[in-house]
Structure 1
Amino acid sequence: MVFAIKEINENPAVLPNITLGFKIYDCCYSEIRALEGTFWLLSQWQSKDAKSSCGIRSLPSAILGALPSKSSLPMARILGIFRYPQISYGSGNPSLSDKTQFPSFFRTVPNDKFQPIAVAQLTKYFGWKWIGILASENEVGEIGSQALKREIISRGSCIAFLETLPIHNFKWKIPHLIDIIKRSSSKVIVLYSTIEPLIPLLDEVTLEGITGKVWIGTTTWTISSDFSQQELLKTLNGSLGIALQRGEIPGFRDFLYSIHPFKFPDGIFFTEFWETAFGCQWPKVNFTESGSGSKVKVCTGMEKVDEIDNSLFDTYIFRYTYSSYIATHSLGHALHNMLSCHSKELPSANVSCSNINDILPWQVIHYLKRVHFKTTTGHDVYFNENGDIPASYDILNWQLFPNGTSRYYNVGKFDSVGYPEGDIKINENTIWWNGETPEVPQSVCSENCVPGYRKATRQGEPICCFDCIVCSKGEIANQTGEKSCLKCPKELKPNDQRVKCIQKLSEVLSYEDSLGAALAAVNCVFTGITANILCVFVRNKETPIVKANNRGLSYILLFSLMLCFLCALIFIGQPTGLTCLLRQAAFGLVFSVAISCILAKTVIVIIAFRATQPGSNLRKWLGIRLPSSVVFGCTLIQILICSGWLLLSPPFPESDMESGEGTITLQCNDGSVTAFWSMLGYMGLLATISLVVAFLARNLPDNFNDARYITFSMLVFASVWLSFIPAYLSTKGRYPVAVEVFAILASSAGMLICIFFPKCYIILLRPHLNSRSQGMGSAKLINKKY
Structure 2
Amino acid sequence: MSWGYRLVTLWTSHAPSLLLVGLLGRQLGLQAGFQVVKTTNCSRWGTHSDNGLFEDGDIIIGGLFSLRYTPPSVDYSFKQHVQNLPLQYIYAMLYALEEINRSLTLLPGVKLGYQIHDSCALPAWELKAVLSMVGGNTFTCDTEAGNGMDIGQGISLNAGMESSHYIELNLIFYTASCPCLSDRQQYPNFFRTMASDAYQARAVAQLAIHFNWTWIGAVIADNDYGHMAVKESIQENSVCLAFVETLQRETIVSDAKRAALTIQASTAKVILIFTWYTDVIELFHQLSKLNVTDRQFLASEAWSTSGDLLQDTASHKVARGVLGVAIRSTALPGFDSYIRSLSPLLRPSDEFLREFWQKEFGCDPNTNGPTQKASLPPCKGTETLEEVQNFFTDTSQLRVTYNVYLAVYAAAHALHSLLSCPERANSPGNVSSCSFPKEIKPFELMQHLSQVNFTTPQDELFYFKGGDITAKYDLVNWQSTPQGGLRLALIGRVDGFDLHLNDTAIEWSTGTSQVPVSVCSESCAPGTRKASRKGEPICCFDCILCADGEISNQTGSLQCDHCPAEFWSNTERTVCVPRQLDFLSFNETLGVTLTAVAVSGATVTTAVFVVFLHHRQTPVVRANNSELSFLLLLSLKLCFLCSLLFIGRPSYWACRFQQAAFGISFVLCVSCLQVKTIVVLAAFRSARPGAEALMKWFGPGQQRGSVCFFTSIQVVICIIWLTLSPPIPQPDLEIPGLKVTLKCAMASVVGFSVVLGYIGLLGCTSLLLAFLARKLPDNFNEAKLITFSMLIFCAVWVAFVPAYVSSPGKYAVAVEVFAILASSFGLLFCIFAPKCFIILLRPEKNTKKHLMAR
Please state which band the TM-score falls in when normalised by the shorter chain.
0.7 to 0.9
CA distance in structure 2 between the aligned counterparts of 1:252 and 1:171, rounded to whole angstroms:
40
Matched, 1:144 2:236: no
Question: In 1, are the aligned partners of 2:157 and 2:445 still within 8 Å (CA)?
Answer: no
1:446-465 per-residue CA deviation (whole Å, 9 max, x = no partner) reads 44444444545555555544
Q: Deviations over 1:592-639 (max 9, x none)?
A: 232233344445556666777xx6666755766188386566545544
CA RMSD of aligned residues (A): 4.2
SS of residue matched to 1:413: strand
C-alpha distance in 2 between matches for 1:725 and 1:604: 32
Of 527, 532, 539 in structure 1, the residue corresponding to residue 607 of structure 2 is 532
Match of 2:287 in 1: 205
1:92 maps to which of 166, 177, 182:
177
Partner of 1:429: 504
393, 403, 428: which is aligned to 2:483?
403
String of CA shifts for 1:305-325, please: whole Å, max 9, x gaps: 567664687645422222222
Structure-to-structure mapping, 1:634-783, within 5 angstroms: 634-635=710-711, 638-639=714-715, 641-656=717-732, 659=735, 661-663=737-739, 665-694=741-770, 703-776=779-852, 778-779=853-854
| Residues 531-550 of structure 1: CA deviation (Å, up to 9, x unaligned) | 22122223323333223344
TM-score, structure 2 as length reference:
0.75
**Equivalences for 1:471-620 in 2 at 5 Å?**
471-485=546-560, 487-494=562-569, 496-511=571-586, 515-605=590-680
Question: Contact 2:200–2:300 (CA<8 Å) still a contact in 1?
Answer: yes
Deviations 1:53-88 (A, max 9, x none): xxxxxxxxxxxxxxx994239997999963334332
Cα distance in 2, alignment partners of residues 692 and 310 from structure 1? 118
Q: CA deviation at 1:286?
A: 13
Rounded to whole Å, the distance in 1 between the matches of 2:424 and 2:531 is: 63
1:626-641 alignment, distance < 5 Å: 628=703, 631=707, 634-635=710-711, 638-639=714-715, 641=717
User: How many angstroms apart in 1 are the aligned matches of 2:716 and 2:689?
Assistant: 37
| Aligned pairs for 1:381-396 within 5 A | 381-384=462-465, 386-396=466-476
Match of 2:336 in 1: 253
SS at match of 2:609: helix
SS at match of 2:118: coil
Of 218, 235, 239 in structure 1, the residue corresponding to residue 322 of structure 2 is: 239
Report if aligned partners of 1:77, 1:102 keep a CA contact under 8 Å in 2.
no
User: Which secondary structure state, in structure 1, belongs to the residue aligned with residue 120 of structure 2?
Assistant: coil
The range that moved more, 726-735 or 463-472, is 463-472
Question: How many positions carry a matched residue from both structures?
Answer: 735
Q: Identify which range, 423-432 or 506-515, moves more after superposition.
A: 506-515
* CA distance in 2: counterparts of 1:170 and 1:619, whole angstroms: 128
SS of residue in 2 equivalent to 1:133: strand
Amino acid paired to 2:400: Y
- CA shift, 1:367, in A, is 4.2
1:190 partner SS: strand
Bigger Cα displacement from structure 2, 754-763 vs 197-206: 197-206
Tell me what 1:326 maps to: 406
| CA gap 1:221/1:353 in 2 versus in 1, 3 angstroms | farther
Give the secondary-structure state (helix, strand or coil) at the position aligned to 1:22. Answer: strand
**1:529 alignment partner AA:** V
Q: Describe the superposition over 1:277-323 as per-residue Cα deviations: whole angstroms up to 9, x where unpaired.
A: 689999999999xxxxxxxx967757875676646876454222222
Deviation (angstroms), 1:510: 4.7
Would the alpha carbon gap of residues 543 and 280 (structure 1) be closer, same or farther in structure 2, given more than 3 Å must change? farther
Q: Counterpart of 2:200 in 1: which secondary structure?
A: helix
**Aligned partners of 2:545 and 2:741: how far apart in 1?**
26
- Aligned partners of 1:564, 1:555: CA distance in 2, in Å? 14
Q: How does 1:58-457 map to 2 (within 5 A)?
A: 70-72=150-152, 82-149=167-234, 151-153=236-238, 157-169=239-251, 177-178=259-260, 180-182=262-264, 184-195=266-277, 197-227=279-309, 228-259=311-342, 264=347, 266-270=349-353, 272-273=355-356, 301=379, 310=390, 315-341=395-421, 354-355=434-435, 358=438, 360=440, 362=442, 364-384=445-465, 386-416=466-496, 422-457=497-532
**Does the CA contact (< 8 Å) of 1:215 and 1:240 recur in 2?**
yes
Q: Counterpart amino acid of 1:30?
A: L
Indicate the SS of the match to 1:324: helix
SS in 1 for 2:492: strand
Q: 1:620 to 1:158 in 2, by over 3 A?
A: farther
Q: C-alpha distance in 2, partners of 1:213/1:665?
A: 57
CA distance in 2, matches of 1:757, 1:37: 126
Deviation string 1:490-512 (CA, Å, 9 cap, x unpaired) is 55555555555555554444545
Distance in 1 (alpha carbons) for counterparts of 2:654 and 2:373: 121
Amino acid at match of 1:586: A
In 1, Cα distance between equivalents of 2:355 and 2:523: 57
- What secondary structure, in the 3-state scheme, does the structure 2 residue paired with 1:113 have? helix
Amino acid at match of 2:621: V
Q: Does the 8 A contact of 2:126 with 2:150 survive in 1? A: no
Question: Following TM superposition, by how much is the alpha carbon of 1:209 offset from its aligned partner in structure 2, in angstroms?
Answer: 3.0
Query: In structure 2, do the counterparts of structure 1 residues 622 and 344 end up closer, same or farther at CA, with 3 Å as the change threshold?
Result: farther
Separation (CA, whole Å) in 2 of partners of 1:579 and 1:321: 88
Aligned equivalent of 1:56: none
Deviation, 1:751, is 1.3
Match of 1:22 in 2: 114
Structure 2: distance between partners of 1:476 and 1:519: 38
C-alpha separation in 2, matches of 1:343 and 1:233 = 62
Deviation string, structure 1 residues 637-667 (Cα, Å, up to 9, x no partner) = 5445434433543334445555484456544
Q: Determine helix, strand or coil for the equivalent of 1:24.
A: strand
Change (3 A) 1:145 1:30: farther
- Distance in 1 between residues matched to 2:592 and 2:392, nearest whole Å: 91
Per the normalisation by structure 1, the TM-score is 0.81
Question: How far did residue 410 of structure 1 move?
Answer: 1.9
Distance 1:647 1:108 in 2: 85
Which runs of no fewer than 5 residues in structure 1 stay unpaired? 50-67, 289-296, 417-421, 780-786
Per the TM alignment, residue 6 of structure 1 is displaced from its structure 2 partner at its CA by: 3.7
> d(CA) in 2 for partners of 1:660 and 1:762?
54
SS at 1:411's partner residue?
A: strand
Sort the Cα spacing of 1:602 and 1:316 in 2 relative to 1 into closer, same or farther, 3 A: same
CA contact (8 A) 2:472 2:493 kept: yes
Match of 1:44 in 2: 136
Relative to structure 1, the CA distance from residue 213 to residue 169 in structure 2 (aligned partners, 3 Å threshold; closer, same or farther) is same
Return closer, same or farther for 1:277/1:390 CA change in 2, 3 Å cut-off.
farther
